Structure 1
Amino acid sequence: MPQHSIAFSTLAQQDDLSLSNHLNLNTWYDFDHASLVADAPGSLTYVVIFSFQLGMHVANFAQQLEQWGGELVGVVRYEAHADLPPAFAFAISNADAQLNDQVKAYSAENGVQCAALVNPPKLSQAGLLVMDMDSTAITIECIDEIARLGGVYDEVAAVTAQAMAGQLDFSESLRQRVAKLAGIKLDLVDDLKSQLPLMPGVEQLCAVLRENNWHLAIASGGFIPFAKQVQSVLNLDKIHANQLDDDGAALVGTVSGQIVDAQEKARFLAQYREQLQLPKSQTMAIGDGANDLLMMQEAGLGVAVHGKEKVVAQAPAAITAGSLAQLLYFLTIPLRD
């Protein structure tokens, strides 16, 4: 157990800058009121808070954690990457079942990033990241952009609205939307493919993961040509997406093969994990939509990134603003011995 300690009152009264003078990086500090009874391995919940401007949020957040139940055992200030400001992680034993929801609510109300994690993946060990593509690895929805090029965006959007309202499942909505793309010239699709806008931070995230022997993949309800382009740019190991059919000159309005829906994404992750002989705890899945939730549940850690409100509520963790490089905060917590 750590040999350092800090008075809770000290933490609860100082801002981020002042705390940097009290807390050495990567050193756990016990709270003066914490139990001396050692926790069983894996019994701790780690609650992280990070932002480029934390100010008094660390102090305020600590006081909230005290009120939410469980025993606040200690705190650590740590650096996930040289380009990211230090984060803080609190260790909590016997955490209340509502803690995750409370942490997410605090994040939404205060404009900082927070998450409650149990047995998080470790950057220092080989792992697997599976990403959604549209609005996750890249900033656009490819089917919408193809539809704009073909002048059928409103028609495609109407089908999307039906799916969002629960009137169509993903496979049927995909087939109906793709049908409206028939006749769009491949040169327009190729132009779009050549200039895909990457999500900020995804290049840095993938580079760091690859340096640490992680495997990288995309599982997308989008289309193979775009996934291949992202694979090339990010040096990914595998992609799994839908086959968009064409006649050599234009799209024909159909997809062929297995539709990559929510179940297929989860199946792909599980199969790839088994192929790599990795434990579930060393896998992470990220996405923005409801179609990604099963994949998140199949992973050791699922994270909603810039996700819809309902997805953020259901995902184990979330990043609601800023660079995807911030995912490194979840993988680099100096776990207590």
Structure 2
Amino acid sequence: MSQLSLAATSSANLAEEIILNCWYEIKNNHLIQTNLLPKANHGVASVAFGCDFSAAKLLNLVEFLSQHGFSNLSICCYQPTETLLPAWCLYSDSQKPLSPLLLQAFSAEQGYQLVQLTNPANVNEAGLLLMDMDSTAITIECIDEIARLADVYDDVAAVTAQAMAGQLDFTQSLNQRVAKLAGIDVALINELKLNLPLMPGITELCQYLKAHNWHLAIASGGFVPFAEHVQSLIGLDEVHANTLEFKDNRLTGNVTGTIVDAEQKARVLEQIQQRLGLDNRQTVAMGDGANDLKMMAKAGLGVAVHGKPKVVEQADTAINEGSLLQVAYLLAIPLDYTL
């Protein structure tokens, strides 16, 4: 078995010094190669990503985890795709995860991202990714942009912010905001629809998951025309969103049909999971707002995407900056996934 002294390693990129996808025990500041393959359904996996890790950064991370009770650590460096930097997974078999806000505060000071997972999904098995649309799959809130066209942006955006922070009932706030959009011409809706800015990395993430036979869907408190266009752009299997009412090619200010609120998003996840016959572990939900929390709680893994503090705190894990392709780090850890 090979070993590497972290104290004697000066390389700025420690990944160049070890074997990818191999596990090492950490003993006395040495990495000792082992045949260990941790079980996915036991223990906690701490995943650090977003920079080239030096030995000093890694030792600092080990010290942080040790201070919070994570002992007998083993470690593995892996790279889900060639376009992502290698990530480091530190495995402990004896702890519950720390608060995502604590992990975020520590790792932000260190210049990388750090998440913790229990019983993670396996990208090599069939799975489901169900995501929010506004400020998740795309960078904007569509209802706010429609409001710009009606010259009521400030009023609508303020209500949107309160709803996403969980300060207002979603259905009530949706009806309140849509009522202010009465009279908007369908041509302007179509123009906005054709210029939706995708969240960086969402196309690559969907391509990655599709290559592994995952089912991809949106459950959005936004609107059908935009969700269907996003579906065509990134190859989604299905979308669930709210239906705007039109009369004489203008918005009436009403929403028709079932409102896709927090409860409905959770129901959609459960319905798709049952239809596909998936184990709950193989379901992933991601979003940014308070109305995504029930969906994320229902999933095997809930991922906050550039989320509000309340969402980050309550989610299983979070992507706080950078490309959404980084979700691949959470699904491709080299673990033993057998029961």
TM-score, with length taken from structure 2: 0.91
> Which residue does the alignment assign to 2:47?
48
Q: Structure 1 residues 21, 239: closer, same or farther in 2, change over 3 A?
A: closer
Paired amino acid for 2:312: V
Structure 1 residue 77 and structure 2 residue 72: aligned?
A: no
> Which residue does the alignment assign to 2:21?
26
Paired amino acid for 1:241: A
Conserved in 2, the CA contact under 8 Å of 1:68 and 1:99? Answer: no
> Which residue does the alignment assign to 2:118?
118
Distance 2:85 2:331 in 1: 15
Q: Structure 1 residues 305, 78: closer, same or farther in 2, change over 3 A?
A: same
Q: Return the offset for 1:168.
A: 3.2
Q: Secondary structure at the match of 1:242?
A: strand
Q: Secondary structure at the match of 1:303?
A: strand
Q: Return the offset for 1:44.
A: 1.9
Unaligned runs of 5+ in 1: none
Distance 1:207 1:40 in 2: 28
CA displacement 1:183-229 (0-9 Å, x = unmatched): 01111110000111111100000011011010000000000000000
> What RMSD in Å do the two structures reach over aligned CA positions?
2.5
Conserved in 2, the CA contact under 8 Å of 1:54 and 1:112? Answer: no
Q: Return the offset for 1:304.
A: 0.4
Paired amino acid for 2:243: Q
Q: Secondary structure at the match of 1:268?
A: helix
Where do residues 113-262 of structure 1 align in structure 2 (5 Å cutoff)? 113-160=113-160, 163=163, 168-262=168-262
Which stretch of structure 1 is more off in the superposition, 222-231 or 307-316?
307-316
Distance 2:88 2:37 in 1: 21
Q: Structure 1 residues 13, 62: closer, same or farther in 2, change over 3 A?
A: farther
Q: Structure 1 residues 77, 235: closer, same or farther in 2, change over 3 A?
A: same
Paired amino acid for 1:119: N
Which stretch of structure 1 is more off in the superposition, 95-104 or 77-86?
95-104
Q: Structure 1 residues 252, 20: closer, same or farther in 2, change over 3 A?
A: same
Which stretch of structure 1 is more off in the superposition, 16-25 or 151-160?
16-25
Q: Structure 1 residues 171, 37: closer, same or farther in 2, change over 3 A?
A: same
CA displacement 1:128-151 (0-9 Å, x = unmatched): 000100000001000000000111
Paired amino acid for 2:197: P
CA displacement 1:80-102 (0-9 Å, x = unmatched): 11100110000111114546554
Where do residues 265-304 of structure 1 align in structure 2 (5 Å cutoff)? 265-304=265-304
Which stretch of structure 1 is more off in the superposition, 91-100 or 245-254?
91-100
Distance 2:183 2:84 in 1: 46
Conserved in 2, the CA contact under 8 Å of 1:107 and 1:113? Answer: yes
Conserved in 1, the CA contact under 8 Å of 2:288 and 2:306? Answer: yes
Paired amino acid for 1:72: N
Q: Secondary structure at the match of 1:311?
A: helix
Paired amino acid for 2:47: V
Structure 1 residue 326 and structure 2 residue 321: aligned?
A: no
Distance 1:272 1:253 in 2: 31
Distance 1:135 1:26 in 2: 33
Q: Return the offset for 1:11.
A: 3.7
Distance 2:11 2:63 in 1: 14
TM-score, with length taken from structure 1: 0.91
Unaligned runs of 5+ in 2: none
Q: Structure 1 residues 76, 161: closer, same or farther in 2, change over 3 A?
A: closer
Q: Secondary structure at the match of 2:271?
A: helix
Distance 1:210 1:15 in 2: 39
Q: Secondary structure at the match of 1:329?
A: helix
Identity of aligned residues (%): 50
> Which residue does the alignment assign to 2:59?
59
Paired amino acid for 2:50: S
CA displacement 1:97-130 (0-9 Å, x = unmatched): 5465542332243331111101111111110000
Conserved in 1, the CA contact under 8 Å of 2:97 and 2:116? Answer: no
Distance 2:164 2:208 in 1: 35
Q: Structure 1 residues 165, 121: closer, same or farther in 2, change over 3 A?
A: closer
Distance 1:305 1:145 in 2: 20
